[in-house]
Structure 1
């Protein structure tokens, strides 16, 4: 998150990078030390992986941003700008420009060149929000920034990482959670859960479980108590 803030990344670049790094690269890293197995089971060997230091992980996170920028920006970020950022945030090791190029090749090998961006929660979320605004005026009360803040918190929370295995259901649940947070209860006239079920084909009960998980991580304890006083009931969203 530090790198995305300093570089002022567009949302699609930031969330593509997070997907590449947290959703595809990290799960492929080894449980055993000394090698890295790809998603297909091949072994990738590199001095950047043997051993896998925190500074190397920070390098790979910047590489994920670099790859996402190449895909989604008309003027992709230069390796020099990434190196300059790396010099600021990577304390334990000084990487050269050629190290970024090497790390990019290793990164692509580890994820088996799986850098498609169609299955990203942010893209699904944008599409759902646009559709919602087309059919209900309440959509204007939903701010994309609120939805993005929710996603950011979830990405920063290790025990919610499994939610990103299903980006579409995560997007739908994030929209519902943002609706619960942003839209005043007296205006809850739109059946948001049935609409989400129609738009995504996900079961309402499944969405409710994810929404409650999101709210528990996003809201502070006193805010949760306040919602309880207000009588939060998922059926109100139906």
Structure 2
């Protein structure tokens, strides 16, 4: 039962993160870097926090849904600092937190403290060059080079699939490698969006050969 509750909570927070990224109008690379920071690094690290081996502060104990939503916003903020010039600032995040985080009110100081805590939990590992979205873009570019049918595959379709996988936790459960995840997303998008009569080459073997 607890596992199901944790899964539902994670799904709601991921959905909140995705919606927040849309409302903040961040670029796709910022959005998916934030998802990677939160879903692939921060959230799994909370297990050691629960075991008493992590940083002790009020943002982590107890771990409420509102706190997780705050950390979702922080992941977008950190990602924006990596990719954007100028980056998002507290003035961008605070109104969003006030409007959509209903369970608790967070001050500007809380957001600043949450950023430090977030970075401590992920052990300051903010490298985001090895994420699925980057490999999806690379594979899509390669597909367009080897076949005209690649023009029918839209990156938006790939992003819709990736969002769904993050919400359902399939990114971490089914695929450990961002290369394999990217290839699978592209193949799924290809099969869904390209009319069968336009298929020009065996895309499944191509995806397997490219990233095995």
Alignment of 1:155-194 (within 5 A): 155-158=166-169, 161-163=172-174, 165-194=176-205
Distance 1:34 1:187 in 2: 54
Give 1:8 deviation, angstroms: 1.1
| Structure 2 partner of 1:151 | 162
Q: Which has the higher contact order (CA 8 A, sep 6+)?
A: 2
| Structure 2: runs of 5 or more not aligned | 1-17
Alignment of 1:1-238 (within 5 A): 1-30=18-47, 33=50, 35=52, 37=53, 43-158=54-169, 161-163=172-174, 165-200=176-211, 202=212
Residues 1:159 and 1:173: Cα distance change in structure 2 (over 3 Å): closer
More displaced 10-residue stretch of structure 1: 9-18 or 25-34: 25-34
Give 1:148 deviation, angstroms: 0.5
Moved over 3 A (4+): 31-35, 158-161
RMSD value, Cα: 1.6
Residues 1:159 and 1:125: Cα distance change in structure 2 (over 3 Å): closer
More displaced 10-residue stretch of structure 1: 135-144 or 191-200: 191-200
More displaced 10-residue stretch of structure 1: 4-13 or 24-33: 24-33
Distance 1:144 1:83 in 2: 31
| Structure 1: runs of 5 or more not aligned | 38-42, 203-238
**Cα deviations across residues 130-189 of structure 1 (Å, max 9, x unaligned)?**
111111101101011000110011111135542353211000000000110011111222
Distance 1:131 1:199 in 2: 10
TM-score (normalised: structure 2): 0.87
Give 1:114 deviation, angstroms: 1.2
Query: Could you say which structure has the larger radius of gyration?
Result: 1
Given that 1:121 and 1:167 are in contact with CA atoms closer than 8 Å, whether structure 2 keeps it comes out as yes
Residues 1:92 and 1:164: Cα distance change in structure 2 (over 3 Å): farther
Work out the number of aligned pairs and report it.
Answer: 195
